[in-house]
Chain A
Amino acid sequence: MSRAINIGVWAGVFGVFIIVLFGGQSVLAAGLICGLLAGLLAGARTEGETMQAGVRDGLISGAVAGVILIVSNILRNTFITTLVGQNLPSTGEVLSFGIAGAAISMVLGAALGAAHFLPGRRSSYATWAILGLVILIYPFLDYSIQLGWLGIVITGLIFILLALGLNIVVGYAGLLDLGYAAFFAIGAYTAAFLSSSYIGDQLNFANPRVSFWLVIFIAAAMAGLFGLILGAPTLPLRGDYLAIVTLGFGEIVPIVFRNLDTFGITIFGHEFIKTFNLTGGELGISPIDPPKLPGLNFADRSDQRPWYFLLVLIILFSIFLINRLRGSRLGRAWMAMREDELAASSMGINIVRTKLLAFAMGASFSGFGGAYFGAFVGGAFPSSFDFSVSVIVLCMVILGGLGNIPGVIVGGLIIELSDRLFLPQITLLLQSIAQHNANNPSLSGLQRFDPTLYRTGLFGLVLVLMMQLRPEGLLPNARRKLELHADQASPGEAAQSQTDLYDVETEAASS
């Protein structure tokens, strides 16, 4: 009970954060998030073990958050809305939207609490049905209350797709890849070459435009191929060395795309390929054709809902495939290699092939995501693929809980929303406060304060804190948790895993 209240308060605090930042009708979105938190953290984890207890805790938790939402919505509109120069809604609107937000929070909390205690498999079906409903409703809500999150959520989902792929490489196979953005770039440029008029324009011919539906797969294959090419020289490397080589690759690829603005092949004075601008240099290549599907309009930039739904389908399908891999001969080979490469090879696992496959699989996801990203933003620009992309995706994988898919998704959403939505919105809020209070010297100083500049610093801070406080990630998988907290679980085993490996030493690694 007190646990439910506690969670309600925390969810509410998060809701306050959203309401203060965005104002307007964002209290509805806050209600949705609070409801999810209340339902999943309080309702579904009640100690009562009965459906009544589940409903009760979910409801209480959702209600506590709801009350906080209503109050903070009133306060926000009383004190901040005019300060930042937004239009002040009527008192009736403030109240009714606040109550609606609270209602969403309570209903969701109770429903998820109830779903959890349905017998057998129906429990997870019902939970997923509710989550599916939220996923389905969200873009319509976003669109109708002009929340304006959708574009960022889509980018976040693309990054989640990347994180799912990187999770294969880092989480399952245990290969630390710091150059993952390279494949993202390769995917995007593949899409740019194949489904824009750019190449034809450069060389004065009407190039065929390959359909988006084909391009995403070609891009995935292309990236996979480069995954193999990168993977090959890293085969004998491990740990830190592998990280450094992949880091280099990740740096090289965007630079190559940047510098291929004068591309041509001349051998002994004979010009095989006339010098031309292959990649558009810093300006990149745009526009890339959007996908075409009867009944849906992907070209309308003001309504991105088709992009959202398509991506959700792609992600669900990816998770489905990854789960199949995980429980298979190949998934086990990856994990065995991560645990002990030498023992794995002695059990009949071809290390070369297994490593390359992990690299190629991860890279394909990244290439696929890159093509989607290119089509979504309508172009391929070298600045979208710098090192920070690799770092962010890696953070998603680690923050969520290495090797755990729900963790990767939650971690990904948190990072992407903080990075692209909350941080810029804080800046925007502060700047408009300063603008609308230019005559107040203590507030106008805010004009110069830009939190987005601290972005990388904040990332670093989050990573350090995570590693200190919760190294297993937000939603760790059981085995990871055991591994990292082995010292607490059973001191003997932790010590034993440190035993020397002199049994078979360096030579095998290099042979």
Chain B
Amino acid sequence: MATNILEAQGIVKQFGGLTAVNNVDFVIPKGTICSLIGPNGAGKTTFFNMITGLYVPTSGSMIFDDQSIVGLKPDQVTARGVGRTFQNIRLFANMTALENVLVGQHARLKANLLGILLQTRAVKAEEERARLRAIELLEFVGLGRQRVDEMSKNLPYGDQRRLEIARALATNPKLLLLDEPTAGMNPHETDALTRLMRQIRDELGITVLLIEHDMKVVMGISEKVTVLDHGGKIAEGLPEVVRSNEQVIEAYLGKGAAAQGKGGGGVRKAVVQSAEGR
């Protein structure tokens, strides 16, 4: 058993002439919360999409849970144990919250056509269990019972984000990928979500990889931070170390700022603020 849930090596992704991800090595130790940060267009989401099989890397290897996942279809990757949310919420808008979570369980359910048509006892029991589990998950992410039958598009924004997490958890992942989960949330909601992410790791034992612009969240929660810029990895390590890395400051604020603010606490603050302002 490897200690890393994901080991990516030499990952490259090109779109025509544009290199969105350039030769990135990346590991996620089991049971951790890791963050992937970087300015807009750095290639973070592209990296997510390569893990989940939506994009095929131009080159490089990707080992998940001791097996290569390069070239697998998204549903196969999900079946192996990767759950994800999307940067722009992609719920099933005209399905209820409960149905959304039930869809997340799709790969874990076994009912086939014949069983469904005959409504065998096994199918009924499975459906009942799935329902209970869905409600459990909705409660876990903080969506009350009264929201269960609400059409997902009618939910408030924050609840939609939470529902997307519940749906991803329903796939029973070993690794959960969250793409900017706190985007557009107020500080209060952000705190709640930070707690939720910890709970996911501590209570459910799921490894979490986070793309996040809110430095307060990143610094407070992650064991490891990886910084991408223009597709390349420019820094990696403990949050404190990354925070004071010159290249990182430069990537966020431009060259001049880094030179000027060498070692100064003011710059550090500026990094945080500029990132939050997005």
Contact = CB atoms under 8 A, between A and B. Distances in A.
A342 B52 CA distance: 11
B103 A349 contact: yes
A501 B88 contact: yes
Interface in A222-276: none
Contact of B95 (A339, A342, A503, A504): A339
Contact of B75 (A324, A350, A496, A502): A350
Interface of A is mostly: helix
A347 B78 contact: yes
A503 B90 contact: yes
B95 A332 contact: yes
B81 to A, nearest CB: 10
Interface string A482-503: 1100100110010011011111
A347 B88 contact: no
Contacts of B86: 343, 346, 503-504
B22 interface: no
Interface string B57-96: 0000000000000000111001100001011101111110
Interface in A86-107: none
B170 to A, nearest CB: 8
Contact of A336 (B78, B103, B117, B153): B103
B243 interface: no
Contacts of B104: 347-348
A503 B106 contact: no
A490 B156 CA distance: 11
B102 interface: yes
B121 to A, nearest CB: 14
* Of listed B87, B103, B130, residue having the most chain A CB within 10 A: B103
Contacts of B106: 329, 332-333, 336, 347-349
B88 A508 contact: no
Interface in A112-136: none
Interface residues of A, number: 43
A489 B154 CA distance: 10
Given A324-B116, A328-B127, A339-B92, A482 B154 contact: yes
A231 to B, nearest CB: 15
Contacts of A325: 116-117
Interface string B91-116: 11111000100111011110101001
B153 A503 contact: no
A200 B266 CA distance: 94
B217 interface: no
A321 B54 CA distance: 34
B74 A503 contact: no
A300 interface: no
B171 A335 contact: no
* Of listed A328, A332, A347, A490, residue having the most chain B CB within 10 A: A347
A346 B151 contact: no
Nearest to A509: B54
Given A336-B92, A340-B90, A503-B45, A493 B153 contact: yes
A440 interface: no
Given A350-B73, A503-B86, A335 B116 contact: no
Given A482-B94, A507-B55, A329 B75 contact: no
B167 interface: yes
B6 to A, nearest CB: 17
* Of listed B56, B90, B99, B119, residue having the most chain A CB within 10 A: B90
Contacts of A339: 92-95
Given A329-B106, A348-B79, A343 B91 contact: yes
Interface string A346-388: 1111110000010000000000000000000000000000000
A175 B226 CA distance: 42
Contacts of B45: 503-504
B92 A328 contact: no
* Of listed B78, B113, B153, residue having the most chain A CB within 10 A: B153
Nearest to B77: A346
Nearest to B177: A346
Nearest to A489: B154
B9 interface: no
Contact of A479 (B78, B94, B170): B94
A333 B103 contact: yes
B49 interface: yes
B40 to A, nearest CB: 12
A443 interface: no
Interface of A: 321, 324-325, 327-330, 332-333, 335-336, 339-340, 342-351, 357, 479-480, 482-483, 486, 489-490, 493, 496-497, 499-504, 507-508, 511
Interface of B: 15, 45, 49, 52, 54-56, 73-75, 78-79, 84, 86-88, 90-95, 99, 102-104, 106-109, 111, 113, 116-117, 119, 123, 127, 130, 151, 153-154, 167-168, 170-171, 179
